Amino acid sequence: MTAFVLACAMLLDAMLGEPDWLWSRLRHPAVLMGDCVRWLDMRLNRGRHRRLRGIVAVAALGSGALALGGLLSMLGPVAEILACAILLAQRSLVGHVTEVADALRLSLPEARRMVARIVTRDTADMDGPRVARSAIESAAENLSDGVIAPAFWFLVGGLPGLLFYKAINTADSMIGYLNDRYARFGWAAARLDDLLNLVPARLTCILLMAVSGRWADWRGIVEDAQRHVSPNAGWPEAAMARALNIALAGPRSYHGRIRHLAWVNEDARKDIGAREIERAATLLWQVWSLALGLVMLGLAVALVF
């Protein structure tokens, strides 16, 4: 039943995405999760023992997500399909990435504005190739975080597992930074998010290799992933870079400061643009199709045996 619900949710998300008419009237669950994280930050991120306070915040957030998931599961499969579809991000991810490609064909300032919607790095001084790399890196990372990981944790733990993952992932995106404010308070969120994405990130990498046929690049992918600043994001990025035969990552600016990060697939092409972004969007759909096929295959095997 879990595989059937997930397959239906994946199809529903692919068809409808995140309709503006609905979320302009209601608060999206991800926004509500963000509100909870913000409230916990305001109440607990102060005084002494901030790492312990951060652990308490994550425990409260995760417990609430598990309880809510359990309650929603009691409403039946239709409610589960709707909730799962809302928390998947395939169609919206492809839409955001494609919008950057369309904007890059119009003007560089418009492309910078569009890519700023999906990345946290500085975009004001980006040239065209940097805009393209940023969009493709976001596509690879969010394919893992926003599609494969939610589907994986739904299969593992049903709706409670999915909501728990989304709550922790949201917390990490908001407080999981190594700065003065969050280095200690956000420690638990960041480490737990790393743990929850350990398998999905590598699964996403394998799926990208499968649809691109780049199995011979496995050694290089592993080497690049291990050099990456993130313990998980490097895996889908390295696989995406080789699938497109381009270089990703490298130096970039955050809050006016340059960070000299390692290149991914450094010797490949760096002069890229809208065409490569569109090829990345095609890969997103190919990986989604393969993942859906595997879910349906699992469902068929379960029905037979």
Please give the structure tokens belonging to residue 200: 């999905």
For residues 92 and 18, the answer to whether their CB atoms sit within 8 Å is yes
> Can you give the pTM of this predicted structure?
0.95
Query: What is the rounded distance in angstroms from the CA atom of residue 29 to the CA atom of residue 34?
Result: 9
Look at residue 27 in the predicted model and tell me its pLDDT: 84
For residues 31 and 125, the answer to whether their CB atoms sit within 8 Å is no
* Residue 249, helix vs strand vs coil: strand
Q: For the chain, 305 residues long, give each residue's pLDDT as a single digit of tens.
A: 899 999 999 999 999 988 877 777 888 888 999 999 999 999 999 989 999 999 999 999 999 999 999 999 999 999 999 999 999 999 999 999 999 999 999 999 999 999 999 998 988 889 999 999 999 999 999 999 999 999 999 999 999 999 999 999 999 999 998 788 999 999 999 999 999 999 999 999 999 999 999 999 999 999 999 999 899 999 999 999 999 999 999 888 888 888 888 999 999 999 999 999 999 999 999 999 999 999 999 989 888 87
Query: What is the rounded distance in angstroms from the CA atom of residue 33 to the CA atom of residue 283?
Result: 29
Look at residue 20 in the predicted model and tell me its pLDDT: 78
Look at residue 179 in the predicted model and tell me its pLDDT: 86
Alpha helices (runs of H) in 17-73, residue ranges in sequence order: 20-23, 29-44, 50-73
Q: Whose structure tokens read 């560089």? A: 108
| Nearest partner of 88 among 200, 191, 179, 188, judged by Cα | 200
For residues 176 and 61, the answer to whether their CB atoms sit within 8 Å is no
Look at residue 232 in the predicted model and tell me its pLDDT: 96
Look at residue 278 in the predicted model and tell me its pLDDT: 97
Burial of 305 (0-12, 13-18, 19+ CB in 10 A): exposed
* Residue 34, helix vs strand vs coil: helix
Look at residue 19 in the predicted model and tell me its pLDDT: 80
Look at residue 177 in the predicted model and tell me its pLDDT: 85
Query: What is the rounded distance in angstroms from the CA atom of residue 240 to the CA atom of residue 246?
Result: 9
For residues 112 and 123, the answer to whether their CB atoms sit within 8 Å is yes
What are the b/e assignments for 80-106, b being 16+ CB within 10 Å?
bbebbbbbbbbbebbebbbbbbebbee
Alpha helices (runs of H) in the chain, residue ranges in sequence order: 2-16, 20-23, 29-44, 50-73, 77-87, 90-106, 108-115, 128-143, 149-175, 187-196, 198-212, 218-227, 234-244, 274-304
Look at residue 21 in the predicted model and tell me its pLDDT: 78
Q: Whose structure tokens read 């359990």? A: 70
What is the number of other CB atoms lying within 10 angstroms of the CB of residue 52? 14
Query: What is the rounded distance in angstroms from the CA atom of residue 186 to the CA atom of residue 179?
Result: 10
Query: What is the rounded distance in angstroms from the CA atom of residue 133 to the CA atom of residue 285?
Result: 19
Span between the terminal Cα atoms of the chain, in Å: 14
> Any idea what DSSP says for residue 145?
I
